[in-house]
Structure 1
């Protein structure tokens, strides 16, 4: 994340050194005349904080519990309890635990509220807890409540920044919110303004970078947020890509970083490389159960065309997993493993499960529902098998295999406008990823032309890629036009992700 804080005024040199010394100290304490609660970063609690980031939740909870009786007035403990709960809920998607643990939000906020008003940690930790629950509530489909948590967290952080401008940890969370708010599409921007929320992607990234450089304790968390934002909303720089590859080697016991490296490399179309980090991911009793890793193994094997192995991993994921996201998508992938392997009878078992299982909160599950409905209504023909094979191969970075598949067909091989649009988009994407962007342009433009009639998703995706190609050519007006066009397509399954990327690109261009 890139964060620039125009409001930040450096303190005099002596005072700044004193502040930094306090931030770097092993034990952080807050003192007041009638203080009942402190924020004390004891060695065990510090270790627990970093073990949570490694997904060593059982071990982290043991460390926290060991300090609980001796540190009854330490506000860092309810914060760590909440931090651990967030990681558990996001990974497990345990609805029963979510219902029970959500009852602990207010008591933890109240415990931290016992800190004196002159403590910079009071509002900071309260905002952190509200952000934790915002992410959890959004994950579990409680959008309204989750959104209010974000608004409350934002107000607390802004107030903390004004009261304690030299307290740099505030920027870790405020920077994240500034990026997220700055990424809101224009047609929703009025909501943020009414609520008093201000966001700017570059300012937010700069704020995160300040924390990375000057607050060692929160450096790793800030850097992780920074990389995540660039991977999923902006674009990773060569330096960040290198960091992504080195990080798991530096922390071989960090499951979260291995997972992060795996998913980002898969997103970047480097599944063979991602498979290495996935295979090296640590496990054991000290770590939280993480069945989603089986899903990722299924994805890589599907991309490679290893359909039997992929099916085994998807089935194992569904067997171990108690959550609600990716259920529909996994059944779709099991359908694909059999259908693409010309085992139509077995495939039909899984396509029929999609409607009645799982949730449709995330884009992958929504897409699975749409494909299932179209297949069962006869709208998806056997001719599309080659398009799906090419799509998965391209997604994984297996470009030679994808190119060979697409060279065997032409636009006239397909009957519907949507199939023709997808053919052109796939051809363009393979060429672009193969380092031939100029050759991809006619195919993307053809997909855009076809998308005027239908196939909005492929039109929007083509416009987005044409925007990136224009940026590489230093054609700023052309890039702006294409990014705006990408956002103009309505009601398609990729709208949220494409709009977010286009919005971020336009913001970087000063639009």
Structure 2
């Protein structure tokens, strides 16, 4: 007590200074926290936007105060990305494209002591990179990806325990890791480094975060479907993800497109049939396009035609127009309504643009058809192709069973005949039966650099990879990359590169 009294003046001075320091720290930390606040409304809105349940999300956002909250900026930006990617509307993109710079400027003014500051900037850049790729702004999109990568790497170093970083950084590491060896000097020059395995580990880490778990799970499955090899185990995981998210339209849609891409049309149809519907959800005209595709594969040409026309009535974008008119052509051509079919194929040459592979394939078919006509066997091959692509292998075999290679006169048709039979056996889990047909497709395709050679090489690579014959698998993946200027080059090359890097 005596000591306390004698030192009271010094104690008081120190106390005042300490209190001042505490108050400064308190207000600094409070300001940092207020810069990035996940209010209950923003959490629900973000969840609803991820489900494409947009009307409740918009109502929640309307009740959030307009402020400098970085989370509000992030969620607003996510909403713009979702709306633009789903609508594919050029006019809407032109109206809002300047929001990227405004939001980045606003985020830079917020506290950089929060791990959300760099993460939110990176997310905004990635959102707009995806949108710009959709609307043909590739160069600007690439710069956004590079800058997002640098922000995420910096954030990981400063806040290694901040799990959301690993969702996007993991995705980028997988994409970087799928670049072939002869192009890695470009990524190294730009400071982009990463491997597929590293990226998958980071996505698994991100799934521990409650806010990012579903998105990270979905990205992981999409990477497996579109870059790596989608396995039966992946299909079961996808099924579980759909089952656990019955009100999530985005997950149902992406599950359907994933299964369709992997030749499981019946599963894709089941996911779309079970999708949530209602006025609260964002309209998705592309679903009618997909339904038209699946019914076309099943040979239900009337139902396919109805969905394709509905897609054209509701859709506002420029992608997939050629593809839709091409499929309408098929709906009539395959039932021998050639004159009506021809009018739809004429539209392929006048509408849309050549950005997505489906439109490029439609344009190529139209060019060949109008310059050379069609052969007597072409309709049979087309029916088999459609059924095979959809995984309806019994129908596909029935179309081809009466034929042999000798029945076809054109080299391209001989190559396609063998490729279709190879893929049918592959779909039926009969790899040994598939191998000779796929090899024959390659030998017939090499002189003319036909796409069947590239796709057959990719599939043989997968077959030998499954057999653990790594050297043979590697040789076929490399062969797939050597085919030039075919309509499926982007997707084939991406998968072949990823497979080579995984070996």
- What range describes the TM-score normalised by the shorter chain of this pair? over 0.9
Give, in angstroms, the shift of residue 430 of structure 1: 0.8
Counterpart of 1:98?
Answer: 93
Q: Which of residues 211, 227, 230 in structure 2 aligns to 1:233? A: 227
Deviations, residues 381-426 of structure 1 (Å, cap 9, x unaligned): 2311111110110111110110011112111222211111111101
Counterpart of 1:115?
Answer: 110
Counterpart of 2:399?
Answer: 405
Q: Which of residues 49, 65, 70 in structure 2 aligns to 1:68? A: 65
Task: Check if 1:43 corresponds to 2:40.
Answer: yes
Counterpart of 2:3?
Answer: none
Counterpart of 2:154?
Answer: 159
Counterpart of 1:389?
Answer: 383
The answer on whether the counterparts of 1:58 and 1:287 sit within 8 Å (CA) in structure 2 is yes
Q: Which of residues 76, 79, 98 in structure 2 aligns to 1:81? A: 76
Give, in angstroms, the shift of residue 246 of structure 1: 2.5
Report the Cα distance in structure 1 between the residues aligned to 2:267 and 2:118, rounded to whole angstroms.
42
Report the Cα distance in structure 1 between the residues aligned to 2:194 and 2:326, rounded to whole angstroms.
38
Report the Cα distance in structure 1 between the residues aligned to 2:232 and 2:425, rounded to whole angstroms.
21
The answer on whether the counterparts of 2:450 and 2:486 sit within 8 Å (CA) in structure 1 is yes
Report the Cα distance in structure 2 between the residues aligned to 1:174 and 1:377, rounded to whole angstroms.
48
SS at 2:198's partner residue? helix
The answer on whether the counterparts of 1:30 and 1:119 sit within 8 Å (CA) in structure 2 is no
Equivalent residues in 2 for 1:17-56, closer than 5 Å: 32=29, 35=32, 37-56=34-53
The answer on whether the counterparts of 1:417 and 1:455 sit within 8 Å (CA) in structure 2 is no
Task: Check if 1:503 corresponds to 2:497.
Answer: yes
SS at 2:229's partner residue? coil
Counterpart of 1:128?
Answer: 123
Counterpart of 1:342?
Answer: 336
Report the Cα distance in structure 1 between the residues aligned to 2:460 and 2:27, rounded to whole angstroms.
53
SS at 2:347's partner residue? coil
SS at 1:352's partner residue? helix
Counterpart of 2:359?
Answer: 365
Structure 1 gap segments, 5+ residues each? 1-28
Give, in angstroms, the shift of residue 188 of structure 1: 3.3
Deviations, residues 174-203 of structure 1 (Å, cap 9, x unaligned): 111111111123343332122111121110
Task: Check if 1:245 corresponds to 2:239.
Answer: yes
Report the Cα distance in structure 2 between the residues aligned to 1:476 and 1:187, rounded to whole angstroms.
20
Moved more, 32-41 or 314-323: 32-41
Report the Cα distance in structure 2 between the residues aligned to 1:44 and 1:365, rounded to whole angstroms.
41
Task: Check if 1:424 corresponds to 2:418.
Answer: yes
Report the Cα distance in structure 1 between the residues aligned to 2:60 and 2:301, rounded to whole angstroms.
43
Considering only CA atoms, is the larger Rg found in Structure 1 or Structure 2?
Answer: 2
Moved more, 392-401 or 247-256: 247-256
Counterpart of 2:168?
Answer: 173
Report the Cα distance in structure 2 between the residues aligned to 1:254 and 1:106, rounded to whole angstroms.
30
Give, in angstroms, the shift of residue 37 of structure 1: 5.0
Structure 2 gap segments, 5+ residues each? 1-25
Counterpart of 1:299?
Answer: 293
Give, in angstroms, the shift of residue 30 of structure 1: 11
Report the Cα distance in structure 2 between the residues aligned to 1:187 and 1:309, rounded to whole angstroms.
47
Deviations, residues 404-462 of structure 1 (Å, cap 9, x unaligned): 11112111222211111111101111111112111111111111111121142111111
Moved more, 229-238 or 88-97: 229-238
Equivalent residues in 2 for 1:252-263, closer than 5 Å: 252-263=246-257
Q: Which of residues 186, 192, 203 in structure 1 aligns to 2:198? A: 203
Counterpart of 2:19?
Answer: none
The answer on whether the counterparts of 1:37 and 1:115 sit within 8 Å (CA) in structure 2 is no
Give, in angstroms, the shift of residue 345 of structure 1: 0.6
Moved more, 416-425 or 126-135: 416-425
Report the Cα distance in structure 2 between the residues aligned to 1:238 and 1:450, rounded to whole angstroms.
31
Report the Cα distance in structure 1 between the residues aligned to 2:265 and 2:345, rounded to whole angstroms.
26
Report the Cα distance in structure 1 between the residues aligned to 2:27 and 2:196, rounded to whole angstroms.
32
The answer on whether the counterparts of 2:180 and 2:501 sit within 8 Å (CA) in structure 1 is no
The answer on whether the counterparts of 1:32 and 1:116 sit within 8 Å (CA) in structure 2 is no
Report the Cα distance in structure 1 between the residues aligned to 2:449 and 2:186, rounded to whole angstroms.
30
Distance 1:57 1:30, change over 3 A: farther
SS at 1:400's partner residue? helix
Counterpart of 2:434?
Answer: 440
Q: Normalized against structure 1, the TM-score is what? A: 0.91
The answer on whether the counterparts of 2:108 and 2:117 sit within 8 Å (CA) in structure 1 is yes
Equivalent residues in 2 for 1:206-225, closer than 5 Å: 206-212=201-207, 214-225=208-219
SS at 1:165's partner residue? coil
SS at 1:217's partner residue? coil
Deviations, residues 204-262 of structure 1 (Å, cap 9, x unaligned): 011010111x2121111111110110111112344432121133332221111111121
Report the Cα distance in structure 2 between the residues aligned to 1:484 and 1:441, rounded to whole angstroms.
17
Counterpart of 2:484?
Answer: 490
Report the Cα distance in structure 2 between the residues aligned to 1:34 and 1:307, rounded to whole angstroms.
62
The answer on whether the counterparts of 1:417 and 1:450 sit within 8 Å (CA) in structure 2 is yes
SS at 2:354's partner residue? coil
